[in-house]
Amino acid sequence: MGIHKVRVVLTTWGSRGDVEPLVGLAVALRELGAEVSVCAPPDEDFSVLLGRIGVPLVPLGPTVRSVVANPKPPTAKDAFHLAPALVAARFEVLGAVAKGSDVVVATGLMPAGARDVAENLGIRYVYACFHTFGLPSRHFAPGMRPGTPSPEGETDNRVLWQQDAQRVNDLYGPALNSHRAALGLPAVDNVRDHVFTDRPWLAADATLCPSEGMTDLDLLQTGPWILPDDRPLPEGLAAFLAAGPPPVYVGFGSMAAYAPKDIARIAVEASRAQGRRTVLASGWAGLTSIDDDCFVVGEVNHQALFRRVAAVVHHGGAGTTTTAAVAGAPQVVVPLIADQPFWAARVAELGIGVAHDGPTPTVESLSAALAAALAPGVRDRAAAVARTIRTDGATIAAQLLVDGV
């Protein structure tokens, strides 16, 4: 009798911050002898990312760039087109890939359809998230979601979360229940809670993202799923870093439609006002600069780079916040959407950086935030917190999956 090899299907739809943790988990799973498939958006960036570990990308849905990397943010109408398309893609793609597998792990933008495919195949399903922001809670109100807004003046969080569930039903319910009916499965009346399950996994560090009392659900916190990165920094960047004091890193990731207007110039001038050079990440917004004291980078090893900068200015994605925290780099978070204000608040509460007031910095406001973040006490605090952050979350999660927990 041969030993059964655990087969795991990982799936997401979202930006790099949704994809890279799954790649980190895939590495850990394979180290334990599991077989892994990854179903993700067919963006070239993600194919390259998975190519680094030798796992092919199974394309699911449209590219993320086609939805978010436009001059204007997606509209509610866009969301109502995208939601049923993603549900259909999950039934089709996961329905084929997950046959013969043991477990489906889903994350990213409301992965309606993943649990249903697992249910139809009689295999396990795990929903994982990278923060507690979207999970029902008595302690805070839900975030914005396309659909009918809650009435002005409504303050009861329980009522607000019920209305959030209805918005999810409106977005995903008709398509989900249509596909379920085609498989002979009964209808689901609360899509959000069905997707989340009673015991979601939280792939975030307990210091950065404490879970105690944050949600009414029974969270299993594994720690963040970090993809190990031993790539050397590009020669030009290494030379720039060596040519002077540590610069300030500025990057807004995939926030193309939301990046603050003129942020490249503002960031360079704000850094200069603090006597610092700038490393500017072009990201999906295509940020660029022609200043001699600024070096523009594409996709590089952030784990290595963040250990060599004076501060990290970013949008407050879960991945960037965690990477900067592990590196012990002071942070300035300019939160734009979704969970980003939460991470900005945590960075400020922990004393490892500064939350910029609002999403549209000026040279003056960003310079002031940088001055505060560059204070010696903040770097000392960031270094102290860095030593507390767990980096083995992917291994913990992989072991749980292999053990069938």
How many Å apart are CA 245 and CA 247, to the nearest integer? 6
| Mean pLDDT of the region 374-403 | 97
Percent of the chain clearing pLDDT 90 (strictly above) = 91
**Residues 6 or more apart in contact with residue 247 via CB below 8 angstroms:** 240, 241, 271, 276, 277, 278, 279, 295, 309, 310
Q: Mean pLDDT, the chain, as a whole number?
A: 95
Q: What pLDDT, in 10s, does the model give residues 280-327?
A: 999 988 899 989 999 999 999 999 999 999 999 999 999 999 999 999
Farthest-apart Cα atoms in the chain, separation? 69
pLDDT band at 3 (very low <50, low <70, confident <90, very high): low
Given the candidates 3.20.20.480, 3.40.350.10, 3.40.605.10, 3.40.50.2000, the CATH classification of the domain at 235-386 is 3.40.50.2000
Q: Please check the confidence at residue 381 and state whether its pLDDT lies above 50.
A: yes
| Mean pLDDT of the region 183-187 | 98
How many Å apart are CA 96 and CA 310, to the nearest integer? 48
What pLDDT is attached to residue 1?
A: 44
Domain with CATH 3.40.50.2000 in the chain: 7-224+391-403, 235-386
Q: 216 or 250: which carries more pLDDT confidence?
A: 250
| Mean pLDDT of the region 100-119 | 98
Find, among 224, 240, 111, the residue nearest to 168 by Cα: 111
Helix axes 157-182, 76-89, angle to 10 degrees: 40
* Cβ–Cβ < 8 Å for 214, 137: yes
**Which two tokens mark 401?**
């999956």
pTM over 0.85, yes/no: yes
Q: Please check the confidence at residue 226 and state whether its pLDDT lies above 70.
A: yes
CB atoms within 10 A of CB 289: 17
CATH class of segment(s) 7-224+391-403: alpha beta
What pLDDT is attached to residue 405?
A: 61
CA triplet 374, 380, 384: central angle to 5 degrees?
A: 135
